[in-house]
Structure 1
Amino acid sequence: MIELTDQFTHLVLAPALGGSLVNWTVRASGQPLLRHSDEHAINTGLPGKLGCYPLAPWSNRIAHGGFDNPGGWLALAPNSLTDPFPIHGSAWQQAWEVTSQSEHEVVLELRCETPFAYHARQRFRLNNGELNIQLCVTHLAAQPAWHGLGLHPYLPRRPGTRLQARAGQVWKSDAAKLPTALAPVPEAWDFRQLKGLPEGLVDNGFCGWDGHCVIEQPELGYRLECQASGADYFLLYCPPGLEFFCIEPVSHPVNAHHLPGRPGLKLLEHNQSIQLNFNLKCIPHVGAGLLANTVDQ
């Protein structure tokens, strides 16, 4: 485990578990800023049980057992016991290496040959209650390939949790959780203004996003103000009855490899790169005092 601290927050990472974030908490109170990962969650060895993990060289599901690259068909096998499709790329299933570390910043790197050769770098920086995540991927194979990026944070869900995130349209999806058509955002999923999360299942992609979102957590005494770049889409996952939800900044919609025009994907030649940034700033509620009188861990 790698630990970073600033004057207000504490971050724990697990490079060997997919370059994942384990926990991010308020130092003075211990309140979770990402979904809390207990010892059992860590011992599963599964990034999907932790706080956040990287998505590269694509996000979410790909249908039809692969996709076309300029050099021909790239066959992909399912890579998760819980999904029939290849999902979330390969970076989350690799051990990452710590290449730089200081009190407030750490850099993790990965060289991977699956499903083609690429180099990935994550930089995590803490400052004044603000977490910045930078994910960059460079294509290393001789033949060009389609790339996409994303991050998969898990956020605490309490009865009063509210979300603000503007979107132009939403992808309808079928029983296999693959997109079928773009549609206007229904009222229950319209988060242009702060509102509570839907009671029913949401597992859909949204487009026309400006990269900004706010997560209000009154029971936990703070809100997160977030800004993404390199991500024109977000995925919202709200599983009913569970104490977490996900809003994932991504560069492309689900199954973009098979959508007309491959929206959001980038065809990278050898040594070309793409990058995604996500900034999450913790702001205490008035009177909460969570970021005051910080005690040392």
Structure 2
Amino acid sequence: MKGNTLTLENAHLRVRVDPQGGALLSCFSLQHQQPVLREGRGEKPGDCALFPMLPVANRVAGNRFNLREQEVTLPRHQADDTFFLHGDGWLKRWEVAARGRDSCSLRLRSQHPCGYNYLAVLDYLLDGAALKASVTITHLGERPMLYGCGFHPFFAFNARSTAQFQASGYWPEGEQHLPLAWQRTIPPQADFSSAQYGQDAWLNVGYSGWSGRAVVQHDVMRVTLFAQTPWLMLFRMPGESFLCLEPQTHPVNAHNLPGQPGLRLLAKNECCRFALQIRVDKG
């Protein structure tokens, strides 16, 4: 697997791209000689620095939802016993469509009996001190289908790091990692409106009203995440040196929320696109 990875590099950053899962295995700041994202080995799904989530981000309650008065039952896969977790893009091998010294383009064709039938294009680009990633999904099925997507980066994060971002409220975690009722008041351990390290403890929550900007501060390096969406997931595990800040087009379980917020109903040949930028500056 490692022999098939692509290395993208410029004067500021070096990243390794794995066509398996369309993932990044690393993102390293050459100027600061520090990892921007954690380093993964790619030995199993999710063992990486970043992966795309499509055509579903996170989980859908019951692994099913209603679309135009018909029930859609999502498939399952080897990465989760209950859910079509994060969709299938992070589990499949992507075709390398184009590559250069500082950019590459990957393609994935996927189809499921539930109605997902799509072509995805995943682009990675190093633009100065910024990593830019985007995914474009084109629906190819005869029947319209509901799409969502996002990115799941693992930011390097230790006891000397802080994170900061603004949000209007959050969804606490409930059973099966699904969200409980939305709350306006965010508890201290999940409130990053002021820069903090937080607690070295499990945290898996979603935010609404996100400003589209989050900052991870290290001693000599500042890492800023940008994405045009009001929804952000945060995930951390005790004893691990990473913090996941996951921008996605919709909140968790949007498929079963009133109005299905953030999801896109695509007819044949219609497409949707989502992008993020991770910029590295001096601390």
Report if TM-score (shorter chain) is over 0.5.
yes
User: Which stretches in structure 1 are left out of the alignment for 5+ residues?
Assistant: 286-297
Q: Could you give the per-residue CA deviations for residues 21-52 of structure 1, whole angstroms, max 9, x where no partner exists?
A: 11111225642111012xxx32x2x2311111
- State how 1:147-296 maps to structure 2 within 5 Å: 147-184=147-184, 185-218=186-219, 221-229=220-228, 231-285=229-283
Q: Residues 79 and 85 of structure 2 are in contact (CA less than 8 Å); yes or no, is this contact kept in structure 1?
A: no
Structure 2 residue 34 is matched with structure 1 residue 36: no
In structure 1, distance between residues paired with 2:79 and 2:274:
28
Amino acid of the structure 2 residue aligned with 1:13: V
Q: Could you give the per-residue CA deviations for residues 185-222 of structure 1, whole angstroms, max 9, x where no partner exists?
A: 2233221222213333210110101211111122xx31
SS of equivalent residue, structure 2 residue 58: coil
**Length-normalised TM-score, structure 1:** 0.88
**Length-normalised TM-score, structure 2:** 0.92
The Cα of 1:68 is off from its aligned counterpart by 2.1
The Cα of 1:255 is off from its aligned counterpart by 1.1
In structure 2, distance between residues paired with 1:91 and 1:181:
29
In structure 2, distance between residues paired with 1:226 and 1:199:
22
Tell me how large the CA RMSD over aligned residues is: 1.6
User: Which stretches in structure 2 are left out of the alignment for 5+ residues?
Assistant: none
Q: Could you give the per-residue CA deviations for residues 200-246 of structure 1, whole angstroms, max 9, x where no partner exists?
A: 3210110101211111122xx311112102x2200000111211120
In structure 2, distance between residues paired with 1:72 and 1:21:
37
Amino acid of the structure 1 residue aligned with 2:15: L
In structure 2, distance between residues paired with 1:83 and 1:157:
29
Task: Quote the residue 1:20 is aligned against.
Answer: 23
In structure 1, distance between residues paired with 2:33 and 2:160:
19
The Cα of 1:138 is off from its aligned counterpart by 1.2
Between the two proteins, the alignment pairs up a number of residues equal to 276
The Cα of 1:134 is off from its aligned counterpart by 1.0
The Cα of 1:282 is off from its aligned counterpart by 0.7
Identity %: 29
- State how 1:20-99 maps to structure 2 within 5 Å: 20-28=23-31, 30-37=33-40, 41-42=41-42, 44=43, 46-70=44-68, 72-99=70-97
In structure 1, distance between residues paired with 2:277 and 2:74:
32
The Cα of 1:284 is off from its aligned counterpart by 2.3
Task: Quote the residue 1:140 is aligned against.
Answer: 140
In structure 1, distance between residues paired with 2:58 and 2:13:
30
In structure 2, distance between residues paired with 1:222 and 1:190:
22
In structure 2, distance between residues paired with 1:264 and 1:146:
10
CA distance 1:24–1:61, change in 2 (3 Å): same
Amino acid of the structure 2 residue aligned with 1:147: Y
